[in-house]
Structure 1
Amino acid sequence: MPSAAVALRAAIHEALSEDPTLVAELCGARIYDEAPRNAKFPYVTLGDARSFDFSAGDERGEEHRIVLHAWSRQGGHSEAHRVAGAVMQSLDDADLDLKGHRLVNLRFAVADVRREADGRTYHAIVRFRAVTEPV
C-alpha cells in the first residue's frame, strides 16, 4: 500500500489529467511530475509536498501541504492566472479516491503568479492543504 502522500499525489495527477477545463486550457493533458526537457507551454507540474502527523487520540491522520506549478509563455499574466484558476477549480474540495487512504478534505490555500527572471515565463504557484486517514 502506498503512503498517504504518494496516494494523494497520484490522485491529484489523475484528477487534473481528466479535468476537461484544465486540459483545454493546457491544449492537452500536460500535467507532469517532472516536465520533459522540451515541454510545450502551458503546462502544470506537481511540486513539493510536506506531510505532518494529524492524529487525534486513537484516530490516525496526516495533514499534507501540496504545491502545484503552472507555467506559461503566452506573454503577460493572463494565461498563468487562467491555468491556476482551472487547477483551483479542479481540486478545491475534490472527492479524490486514494489507494489505501481516505481523503478527509482538500482545500485551496494560496496562489501567487509572477514573471520569472528570464522575462518570458510566467509562473503560478498554487498551494493546497489536505487531510487523510488510513482505511
Structure 2
Amino acid sequence: MSGDAATALREAVHARLAGDAALAALLGDGGVHDTAPRGAAFPWIAAGPWRVRPLGDGGLCEHRFDLAVRSRAAGRKEAEALAARIEALLDGTALAPAGHRLDALHVVERVTMPGRDGRSFEATASFRAVTEPI
C-alpha cells in the first residue's frame, strides 16, 4: 500500500533531479543518490529519511522526506545553490509517480549547516507530498 506509493514517488523524484541539465551542471555526473554515498566526489545529493503515513481509506498517503546536499566548497554558497535548484525542480511540480497521482508536493523548510566532518557544508531541503493510487 503506502510502500508502493513511497517507491513510486522516490523514483519520480530521483528521475526529475537526475534528468535536469542545470542541476547536472552544478553537480557533475552521478551526483544524485538514494542514500549517502561513501567515497563519492563532492558535491552530491542524497535522500534522507522518508516517512509515509496513510490518510484514511482509499490509499491516500502523506510523504515527508528530506534531500540532503553535501559540498566541500568554501562556505555555504554551493550547498545553498544546489538546495535552491532542488526546491525549484520539485516545489509544486506535477510529477507522475507510477500508479499514483501526486496531489501535492511542497517545500517545508531548508536547513544549512557545517558538516560533521568539519570540512563540508550540508543543506537539507524538507518536503511534504500527498499521493493517491490511480
TM-score bracket for this pair, using the shorter chain length: over 0.9
Unaligned runs of 5+ in 1: none
When the two structures are aligned, how many residues end up with a matched partner?
133
Residues 22-101 of structure 1 aligned to structure 2 (within 5 Å): 22-55=23-56, 59-101=58-100
Alpha-carbon distance in 1 for matches of 2:4, 2:41: 31
TM-score normalised per structure 2: 0.92
TM-score normalised per structure 1: 0.92
Q: Tell me which amino acid in the other structure corresponds to 2:122.
A: H
Alpha-carbon shift at residue 36 of structure 1 (Å): 3.5
Alpha-carbon distance in 2 for matches of 1:6, 1:20: 24
Alpha-carbon shift at residue 67 of structure 1 (Å): 0.7
Matched, 1:11 2:23: no
Q: Which moved more, 1:102-111 or 1:30-39?
A: 30-39
Q: Equivalent pairs: percent with the same residue?
A: 39
Alpha-carbon distance in 1 for matches of 2:89, 2:22: 8
Q: Tell me which amino acid in the other structure corresponds to 1:127.
A: S
Unaligned runs of 5+ in 2: none
Return structure 1 stretches of 4+ with deviation > 3 angstroms: none
Q: What do you get for the CA RMSD once the two structures are aligned? A: 1.6
Contact 2:96 2:102 (8 Å CA) reproduced: yes
Alpha-carbon distance in 2 for matches of 1:62, 1:87: 22
Alpha-carbon shift at residue 59 of structure 1 (Å): 4.5
Alpha-carbon shift at residue 34 of structure 1 (Å): 2.3
Alpha-carbon shift at residue 47 of structure 1 (Å): 1.1
